[in-house]
Amino acid sequence: MSSLAPRLAVYLVADPDLARVDLPLAVHQALDGGCTAVQLRAKHLTDRAMLTLARNIREMCRAYKTLFVVNDRLDIALACGADGVHLGVDDLPVADARRVGQQAGRPDLIIGYSPETDEQAAIAASEGVDYLGVGPVFGTASKPDAGEAIGLETLRRRAAKTTIPVIGIGGIETRNAASVIGAGAVGVAVVGAILRTDDPRNAARTLVETVSSAEAQRW
């Protein structure tokens, strides 16, 4: 198992469209609660505003020694010095992102990828992907275009078919997080379960404990 895996345990997708309050405040609370990774997903900001927000979250994550990745945008990731970038099937191809990252002096750039089929999941390792986001595991209200839930069995199948760490995403909350780990994921990506609560710190803490217990039971 990759040494990246423990850093993916509780992965907050920080989306300003879904934050109840100030996003950096909620991220700060989640970091304080022990969340292990943050992804900035900002589909409706200008690039300049996204970069400013990315730098802000980047600094907080650095202070907490927490992984920070930028969704979709390699240029923003490189400009703010993120640890990585997360790509989907409609984004820059992984090979191109890897090459530009290497050219930019970032051979260490972590590249996450969201496959949409078993085949895409299976070949991701050969493309140099560092981790996979697989979902939507359950129905989700946080991403209207996410498609139909794939369920735990599909998650289990995709996780079994690859050698790289998999996190589950989509409709994951405290009550179902253990089942995602049970299906072979090393972590859970959450949006609303942290952002749309009154207490992001406590929500993160509870998720960390839940994932940790579920991991322990798996071995």
Rule CB under 8 A: say whether 146 interacts with a second copy: no
Rule CB under 8 A: say whether 91 interacts with a second copy: yes
Q: Which of 204, 74, 189 is nearest to 140 (CA)?
A: 189
Whose Cβ is closer to a second copy: residue 89's or residue 141's? 89
Whole-angstrom distance, CA of residue 140 vs CA of residue 132: 18
**Catalytic annotation, pick one of 7, 58, 143, 156:** 143
Cβ-contact 191, 16 below 8 angstroms: no
| Among 21-29, 36-44, 86-94, 160-168, the segment contacting a second copy (CB under 8 A) | 86-94
| Among 58-66, 101-109, 129-137, 195-203, the segment contacting a second copy (CB under 8 A) | 101-109
Whose Cβ is closer to a second copy: residue 99's or residue 218's? 99
| Amino acid found at 169 | I
**Catalytic annotation, pick one of 41, 73, 156, 201:** 41
Helix (H, G, I), strand (E, B) or coil at 82: coil
Rule CB under 8 A: say whether 79 interacts with a second copy: yes
Q: How far is the CB of 132 from a second copy (least distance, A)?
A: 18
**Catalytic annotation, pick one of 114, 142, 201, 205:** 114
Quick one: which of 5, 104, 146, 149 contacts a second copy (CB under 8 A)? Answer: 104
Rule CB under 8 A: say whether 97 interacts with a second copy: yes
Is 161 tagged catalytic? Answer: no
Cα distances (Å, whole numbers) of residue 65 to 89, 97, 104, 126, 203: 29, 24, 23, 29, 19
Q: How far is the CB of 81 from a second copy (least distance, A)?
A: 10
Cβ-contact 89, 115 below 8 angstroms: yes
Contacts of 124 (CB under 8 A, 6+ apart): 94, 113, 115, 132, 162, 164
Cβ-contact 86, 114 below 8 angstroms: yes
User: From the centroid of its chain, how far is CA 81?
Assistant: 17
| Among 27-35, 75-83, 143-151, 202-210, the segment contacting a second copy (CB under 8 A) | 75-83
Binding site for a second copy (CB under 8 A): 46-49, 51, 72-76, 78-79, 89-93, 96-97, 99-100, 103-105
